[in-house]
Amino acid sequence: MGLRRLAHEDASLCAVLGAKSAPHLTNKRLIMLDQKQVDDFFSSGLSIVENLLPPAIIDAALAEMDALYDNDEKPTGIIGYPTGPGFEGVFQHPHLEAAACDVLHADAVELVSGATLHTLPNAEEWSYNESALHVDIQYNRDQLDARPIRMLVTFMIMLDDIPADRAPTVISPGSHQLIADHLGSEPAYQEHPTNIKDLPDLDYAEYIPVSGKKGDVAISTTGLIHGGSANAGDSARKLLFAAYAPKGLDLRFNANRTDLRIDWLEKLTDVFDDDRKHIAATTLADLKK
Ligand SMILES: O=C(O)CCC(=O)C(=O)O
């Protein structure tokens, strides 16, 4: 994929940080991403990075996901706000915090949302449903041009390989920017998702599948036009979403799920390591206002 960027290697730091990517410390904080990855996120809404999270963290989240869907109640589909040690290791991970700071040009970020996306094989041939394409949160020009950027970043963490026929999310690269240009300084609708039929008719780029290997992380935004696709493969698509925002950005998205989000963030904060509990503190305080 043209947008794909590989994190380069730095054996010594990686040994310390438990990752193969090339994090480095400035006098202020950990830096995870290079300039191209940061720029791709801004312009295309997608940058795919290898080795952002240590393999043991991916394996623990995969085991948690397998256990979550190994029951008759919910054998497949999306589960919002999941808990369990395997997911908690991801949500509180300092590499995601640092990468979110990088792409949002923020000094501090907070965890705001999470979900598991599981799709069992369900089709002979791969396709996606054009009428279900949507944007979860729209952003206007002022929000994208602010520093820190006033938007969420969503990490799409591939817990297993997602080849092009295994229900990859499809996106129109750069569509968040076209919508922002169209809106200018007009307020952007953010409370609930907007279907493609209700979005402005702009010159959107062709849809591409966000595919990758186990452990890859697609750094993206649900401000892109996106949607699910069919699984024409022979095993399940296993994807974990984790979304972060600049600390103090009080976006009122998923407005009908505020209580669920409070409950989820409180449960997580209770079990996060002592030095990681800050990762949802302001968000929780804002949600309770
Ligand atoms: O199944 C997918 O990959 C699409 C998920 C999606 O559209 C969403 O979470 O808003």
Number of domains in the chain: 1
Mean model confidence pLDDT for the chain: 91
Tell me, yes or no, whether 5 lies in a domain.
Answer: no
Q: Is the CB of 117 under 6 A from ligand 1?
A: yes
What is the 78 CA–ligand 1 centroid distance (Å)?
8
d(CA 27, CA 269): 27
pLDDT at 9: 29
Q: Which atom of ligand 1 is nearest to the CA of 226?
A: 7
Tell me, yes or no, whether 122 lies in a domain.
Answer: yes
Tell me, yes or no, whether 20 lies in a domain.
Answer: no
pLDDT digits (tens, 9 = 90+) for 245-283: 999 998 888 888 999 999 999 999 999 999 999 999 999
- CATH number at 278 reads 2.60.120.620
pTM of the predicted model as reported, rounded to 2 decimal places = 0.92
d(CA 125, CA 127): 6
d(CA 228, CA 115): 14
The single residue listed with the structure tokens 């799920």 is 257
Q: Facing residues of 79 across strands? A: 116
Q: Is the CB of 209 under 6 A from ligand 1?
A: no
Tell me, yes or no, whether 274 lies in a domain.
Answer: yes
**Domain range enclosing 125:** 35-287
What is the 215 CA–ligand 1 centroid distance (Å)?
19
d(CA 236, CA 144): 35
Tell me, yes or no, whether 226 lies in a domain.
Answer: yes
pLDDT at 1: 33
Comparing 245 with 13, the larger pLDDT belongs to 245
d(CA 82, CA 268): 10
pLDDT digits (tens, 9 = 90+) for 124-180: 999 999 999 999 999 999 999 999 999 999 999 999 999 999 999 999 999 999 999
Q: Is residue 21's pLDDT more than 80?
A: no
8 A C-beta contact, residue 90 and residue 46: no
Task: Determine the residue of 119, 131, 169 to mutate for testing ligand 1's pocket, defined as the one with the most ligand atoms within 8 A of the Cβ atom.
Answer: 169
CA-based nearest residue to 271, from 91, 102, 140: 91
Q: How far is CA 204 from CA 105, 177, 233, in A?
A: 26, 10, 28
Tell me, yes or no, whether 160 lies in a domain.
Answer: yes
8 A C-beta contact, residue 79 and residue 93: no
pLDDT digits (tens, 9 = 90+) for 112-122: 999 999 999 99
What is the 81 CA–ligand 1 centroid distance (Å)?
14
Q: Is the CB of 236 under 6 A from ligand 1?
A: no
The distance of Cα 42 from the centroid of its chain, to the nearest Å, equals 14
**Amino acid letter at 164?**
A
204: left (phi over 0), alpha (psi -120 to 50) or beta: beta
The angle formed by the CA atoms of residues 189, 141 and 279, to the nearest 5 degrees, is 70
Tell me, yes or no, whether 2 lies in a domain.
Answer: no
Tell me, yes or no, whether 15 lies in a domain.
Answer: no
